[in-house]
């Protein structure tokens, strides 16, 4: 395909091969990952093309270091799948009551959706939902024998303390943003009417503290990626992190990155 594009004088900047990443799960076999990335990079390098790594941002630090090393840090990473997670982290740790209430509703939404999906008639939906639930229960060091009935699953998840690191929250959280009335029902998801945008507007009312936490979380994540993939040095990242820690308000951060004339 790259040879065809070259023959048609179409400039391709990067390709995104299917390496087998599952959103928010590390690729466990680094030897196999290196084999796959190296094979793709041998082709891409010959055509002057970068590799794009997609499927969410749950790959491990070891995965990212491997990808950076093999490609000589000439790579692209899709990060959008991580951003709602970083918003959830900011809201969950905010001292603002409205921020925490928004996260609580958000978490309840994903828990309800995960439970319904875990008992779906669709096999793929059911298998993935149960995998996310098992990972969440293991994270909380709870029993994973919860699928005897929907009621037993609901009870087990209701006993968890809301946490943005629970896998089912990470996987389903983006659906909350345009869910009409915040309802965890398939017919309410992705609502682009006034009702859906009223739901979205809840995020515009996040406190200044919540906004600062979100911006800091995203910037720190980008520092992690840049360091792990070898795009910049550890010293450069630490200077950036120190500056991030120095901001006491969202307004101060905005002034720092966009100073007035």
> Is residue 180 assigned to a domain?
yes
Asked if 202 and 115 sit in the same domain, the reply is yes
Half-sphere exposure of 130 (CA within 13 A, CB side): 17
Among 184, 206, 228, give the residue marking a domain's end. Answer: 206
Give how many domains the chain has, as a whole number.
2
**Got the DSSP string for the chain?**
-HHHHHHTT----EE------BTTB--S-HHHHHHHHHHHHHHHHHTT-EEEE-S-S---HHHHHHHHHHHTT-EEE--HHHHHHHHHHHHHH-S-HHHHHHHHHHHHHHHHHHHHHHT-SSHHHHHHHHHHHHHHHHHTT------S-HHHHHHHHHTSPP-TTSHHHHHHGGGGTT-GGG--SGGGTT--SHHHHHHHHGGGG--HHHHHHHHHHHHHHHHHHHHHTTSS-HHHHHHHHHHHHH--SHHHHHHHHS---
Asked if 86 and 202 sit in the same domain, the reply is yes
Give φ, ψ of 182 to 5 degrees.
Answer: 70, 20
Query: CA torsion 94→185→115→106, rounded to 10°?
Result: 0
What is the Cα–Cα distance from 102 to 97, expressed in whole angstroms?
A: 9
What is the Cα–Cα distance from 171 to 177, expressed in whole angstroms?
A: 13
Asked if 56 and 143 sit in the same domain, the reply is no
Asked if 1 and 28 sit in the same domain, the reply is yes
Among 78, 102, 133, give the residue marking a domain's end. Answer: 78
Asked if 93 and 123 sit in the same domain, the reply is yes
> Is residue 16 assigned to a domain?
yes
Cα radius of gyration (the chain): 21
Asked if 69 and 180 sit in the same domain, the reply is no
Q: How far is CA 244 from CA 94, 133, 248, in A?
A: 17, 34, 9
From 29, 30, 86, select the one nearest 216 (Cα to Cα). Answer: 86
Q: What is the pLDDT of residue 55?
A: 66
pTM beyond 0.85: yes
Asked if 86 and 201 sit in the same domain, the reply is yes
> Is residue 156 assigned to a domain?
yes
> Is residue 66 assigned to a domain?
yes
Give φ, ψ of 53 to 5 degrees.
Answer: -105, 115
- Residue span of the structural domain in which 39 resides: 1-78
Residue 111, token pair as written in the block = 């828990």
The residue assigned the tokens 């896998």 is: 167
Sequential pLDDT tens for the chain (261 residues)? 999 999 999 999 989 998 988 777 889 999 999 999 999 999 999 999 999 988 666 688 999 999 999 999 999 988 888 899 999 999 999 999 999 999 999 999 999 999 999 999 999 999 999 999 999 999 999 999 999 999 999 999 999 999 999 999 999 999 999 999 999 999 999 999 999 999 999 999 999 999 999 999 999 999 999 999 999 999 999 999 999 999 999 999 999 988 775
> Is residue 120 assigned to a domain?
yes
Asked if 69 and 109 sit in the same domain, the reply is no
- Bridge partners of 51? 15, 75
The residue assigned the tokens 């690729």 is: 27
> Is residue 161 assigned to a domain?
yes
Q: What is the pLDDT of residue 110?
A: 97
> Is 68 within 8 Å of 53 (Cβ atoms)?
no
Q: What is the pLDDT of residue 141?
A: 95
> Is residue 99 assigned to a domain?
yes
Asked if 89 and 64 sit in the same domain, the reply is no
Q: What is the pLDDT of residue 78?
A: 86
Asked if 87 and 132 sit in the same domain, the reply is yes
């Amino acid at each position: 395909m790259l040879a065809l594009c070259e023959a048609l004088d179409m400039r391709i900047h990067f390709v995104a091969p299917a390496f087998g990443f599952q959103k928010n799960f590390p690729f466990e076999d680094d030897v196999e990952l290196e084999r796959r990335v190296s094979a793709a990079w041998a082709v891409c390098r010959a055509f002057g093309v970068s590799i794009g790594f997609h499927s969410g941002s749950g790959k491990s630090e070891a995965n990212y270091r491997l990808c950076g090393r093999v490609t000589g840090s000439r790579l692209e990473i899709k990060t959008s799948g991580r951003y709602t997670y970083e918003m959830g982290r900011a809201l969950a740790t905010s001292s603002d009551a409205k921020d925490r209430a928004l996260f609580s509703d958000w978490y309840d939404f994903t828990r309800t959706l995960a439970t319904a999906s875990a008992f779906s008639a669709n096999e793929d939906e059911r298998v993935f939902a149960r995998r996310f639930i098992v990972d969440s229960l293991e994270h909380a060091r709870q029993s994973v024998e919860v699928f005897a009935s929907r009621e037993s699953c609901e009870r087990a998840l209701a006993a968890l303390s809301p946490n943005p690191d629970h896998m089912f929250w990470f996987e389903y959280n983006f659906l909350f943003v345009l869910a009409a009335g915040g309802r965890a029902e398939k017919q309410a998801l992705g609502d682009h009417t006034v009702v859906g945008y009223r739901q979205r507007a809840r995020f515009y009312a996040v406190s200044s503290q919540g906004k600062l936490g979100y911006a800091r979380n995203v910037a720190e994540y980008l520092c992690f990626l840049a360091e792990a993939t070898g795009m910049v040095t550890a010293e450069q990242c630490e200077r950036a992190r120190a500056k991030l820690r120095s901001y006491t308000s969202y307004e101060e951060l905005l002034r720092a990155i966009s100073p007035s004339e």
